[in-house]
A = this chain, B = another copy of it.
Amino acid sequence: MASRAVRLKPESPGQSPWKPTEERARQREIKREAVILAAARAFRQRGYHNTSVDDLAALLNVTKPTIYHYLQNKEEILFECFRTGLDQIMSAFDEIRGSDQPALDRLSAVVRKYTQAITSEFGWCMVRAEDQDLSPVMSRRINALKSQIDKGIRGLIKDGIADGSISPCDPKITAFALAGAMNWIAHWHRTDAELTPDQIADRFLSTFVSGLRPR
């Protein structure tokens, strides 16, 4: 569940004979990511199938072949949207790695990060885009990422039961409930909403941790 952002490391400047080439590669990557971001926004707004590659190109003030210069096909665009969003969620687990807090506290930290990710531009893609629009190979890769996230949440719940910070429950179903509540944010959250992601996360945590029944 490591953050997968593998980036070109900027070498010490003015030394490599390949510097210009590297600069090009960086520019290329910037543009590629711009396409992916524009796609994520458009898909969220209009849906994957209601957004043509021509639409995407128009949003970026270029033409279709330019898009295809950076990404092989429409499926790859969707895949990258998926992946970028899921990577954001995965990174929620990075910062609690090695922590010795009670598992419930670690879970709370993950919930806050997760909520931030889901309210990002890529939230829609993680949650609403459909596997069926990807080829079996790509779909399997996405499902592997989703499965890792699920395992991470379940693991924290199991740890919590073990260390006594979480009361005994079915980890699988509890993880589904928690993930479902968070993923659903992508359906109703608007960036102009009154609540910040952190406020949403705190209220969710209050509900899930304390429960509905008065103590």
A50 at the interface (CB under 8 A from B): yes
Query: A208 with B210: in contact, given A47-B130, A176-B188, A215-B215 (CB under 8 Å)?
Result: no
- Of A50, A107, A157, which is in contact with the most chain B CB atoms at under 10 Å from its CB? A50
Closest chain B residue to A178, Cβ basis: B181
The distance from the CB of A166 to the nearest CB of chain B, in whole angstroms, is: 5
Whether the Cβ atoms of A160 and B212 lie closer than 8 Å is yes
A133 at the interface (CB under 8 A from B): yes
Q: Complex: how many Å from CA A128 to CA B187?
A: 10
Whether the Cβ atoms of A179 and B184 lie closer than 8 Å is yes
For chain A, which range describes its interface: under 10, 10 to 19, 20 to 34, or 35 or more residues?
35 or more
As for how many copies of this chain the complex holds, the number is 2
Whether the Cβ atoms of B181 and A176 lie closer than 8 Å is yes
A137 at the interface (CB under 8 A from B): no
| Contact residue among B49, B180, B204 (Cβ-Cβ distance under 8 Å from A173) | B204
Give 11 new A-B contacts, CB below 8 A, not counting A128-B128, A167-B213: A50-B133, A164-B214, A166-B212, A166-B213, A167-B212, A169-B203, A176-B188, A179-B184, A181-B184, A208-B208, A210-B213
